[in-house]
A and B are shown apart, each in its own frame.
Chain A
């Protein structure tokens, strides 16, 4: 009854809330095919620029695993050729630093992104964007830099192979995705074999205007934004958009993998292929997962595993929405002697959720939170830029954000039961245990 009252309040607040009304998002395409989003905002004298390319790790192959990442890493380590206009890695870092600009990079299975945050004064802005332009369109791929970065990547891999969370994630994604490129992971041999010419070819193939979503937000006007977009895309390689990724196959059986490890805790992961970014079941799965394991202390898994039994510091579940089905994952860490208990608690909780679905009270609470927290998703330039980049990259309409609260509110108990029965079946799940059950005092 308490939750009901709050729910009404939150919804009321929401209707009064101009979701994107205060936000004038301008949208256009460049002549060579890049999607551009621009929001003028003069509150702070700064500018954010984000460039996302269809150049994620799923563009690797078994033999070249690591190519997409090394390409992304090397792009900012030397660009513009070796002539007087060229910048080596030191000059790139210093040019940005001289004007206080910050360049960050991120990459996932689908996407490779460069982001620049700079003061918006013409001098600082132009200096920072000139560097970004060179990095995006004319990277050098210096073999000496590549050899150093390969050595660092291989050392990082060897270190990771000692860590239970790293071992668990690799074993998990390899089995959830089988031969699909979402399941690829870097190996020492695949990294060692990479050549600078392969990086240059990868860049030509994927860092194209047709694969680019460009987002700008900050203290500039529309003509300036258009000029920046033109400047950033003009030198990009031509050609058409990347081929679609293959569809992820549904699993047909359960599988449990135990990897021995010396750690005091076992690391548990369970899951299977989940949902796509444009999935018709996106909202039922989102709301349902809040109740199962996504809603922090509101979630059933947190209550069963942590609050009732003190078995773990954290336990989570999430759907990672990608172009193709990303993983649905449940994860926790627990003391070794509690491994089997934690595993059976998770399985029973999931099974009960699939069988019975959530209660009305749980559904209302989830909706109240997801809807009421909506303004928090857009309360800074950084978050607005990230959301626009996501929408543009996945080809979702701008109305997706405006519709979000309404679509969350429309989810019913039956929607959640249907979606979870169709997507989350224990008899198809991969379970990975790094560590494993050991009798108390056995360690």
Chain B
């Protein structure tokens, strides 16, 4: 449903590998790059257009380089709150009208906020793209931010936090993991914000945020679909070009020091299975043409968990049966210091330590023995096929361009990335595993399940029939 939402960073798509890689590559033109054009407007707005004429549809996304990492203590959650307020009207387009007009055009629209960015999008018939651009540009510069609308919307956001985090033990575990894994960097704050900060947030906080970051020179417009690039550039000039450039606050360098030793946090909450999340600080992609480790880490994640019989599910879930599920993830595209994350759910009746020990044995085995050529090729085959498959989705194509751009990378480097991933060696996998995935660098978060409270908080006893009663 079209509600603004907090983005949970997707794990990168990885997998498998192909003994037939040469053949696959033979028929796999990187046609994607040929149809992308870029223009920088005088006011600093970068416009990127990817033509794709398979269907009479277009998607427009505006990405602001402002996410929860740009917040400070006391006002966490304001990036996301502002995202909600962006639907609450301008002098020309009253509250609620933005969504109504896009809907009337047959469009779908929404927005998402992450640690690194806030983005707004519309998907609609290509013939209506200009109207969507007119509407989106209007709220880049003229948001009303009425106190009454804020008062309602902050309640909606609190409900969103209750739903997504407070009542969800796994989300609380992840929130605590991040709060511990980062000590100096603002990635320690949840995107949705701490409840106390939401309780104390004012419309002035939202205004300040909007004035600070919502400017053309802090944004990227990505359009993909059945469009002519020149026409899109002309509309961008017409609607966005008139918005003046503004001074963006100086961004101080934010880092996270090497951990001084292992860290451990326990969340106790009503649940059934024990869960562990392990996280290690690792490098992110910064120089696509020369970096080695981020690519090795991406392929490593594929070797560990890229398909049903990759190392971790095979060993922990299928062979040893110590875990119900296991998941490994690494996202190399990030504005701030990133982490390699593995989560697992313990098998009923087995202590969590059995699964964690088995995981550590697998990591050690990888360091000691490396990976076979077949495993490596399998992980790369997934990258190769994924490059074709993802072209089926307009939205995803635009999304990748936007993510790279706001992370300070260029969409042009996606070709280099592809070549560099294919060049990763078994020795490089061993090297990054040995260097980074060590216990003394690890943050360990554990969900310790509590029994369900027998009665509801007000003390009403549960009835016999499955805890339900009829009134």
Contacts and interface: CB of A to CB of B under 8 A. Distances in A.
A44 B32 CA distance: 11
A257 B469 contact: yes
Nearest to A4: B104
12 contacts: A6-B105, A92-B308, A98-B19, A98-B377, A117-B389, A151-B347, A259-B468, A260-B460, A316-B1, A333-B163, A368-B106, A443-B458
A374 interface: yes
Nearest to A45: B27
Contact of B101 (A6, A93, A158): A6
Interface string B128-163: 100000000000000000000001111111111011
A333 B161 CA distance: 11
A10 B105 CA distance: 6
Nearest to A435: B456
Interface in A82-108: 89-90, 92-94, 96-102
Contacts of B151: 310
Given A100-B386, A296-B2, A379-B57, A123 B20 contact: yes
B16 A368 contact: no
Interface stretch (B266-274, B356-364, B398-406, B415-423): B266-274
B17 A97 contact: yes
Nearest to B19: A98
Contacts of A296: 1-3, 99, 103
Interface of A: 2-3, 6-7, 9-10, 13, 17, 43-46, 89-90, 92-94, 96-102, 117-119, 121, 123-124, 127, 148, 151-152, 154-156, 158-159, 161-162, 164, 171, 255-265, 295-298, 303, 306-314, 316, 333-336, 365, 368-376, 378-382, 435-436, 438-439, 442-443
Contact of B273 (A127, A159, A262, A316): A159
Given A298-B103, A376-B108, A158 B272 contact: yes
B200 interface: no
Contacts of B391: 44
B203 to A, nearest CB: 14
A372 B468 contact: no
Nearest to B57: A379
B52 to A, nearest CB: 9
A376 B128 CA distance: 13
Interface string B95-114: 01001110111111000000
B107 A17 contact: no
Contacts of A258: 468-471
4 closest A-B pairs by CB: A372-B106, A100-B385, A97-B16, A260-B456
B176 to A, nearest CB: 17
Contacts of A2: 101, 104
Contacts of A99: 18, 20, 24, 381, 385
B318 A438 contact: no
B106 A376 contact: yes
B202 to A, nearest CB: 16
A174 to B, nearest CB: 9
Contact of A368 (B54, B104, B453): B104
Given A296-B1, A335-B159, A310 B16 contact: no
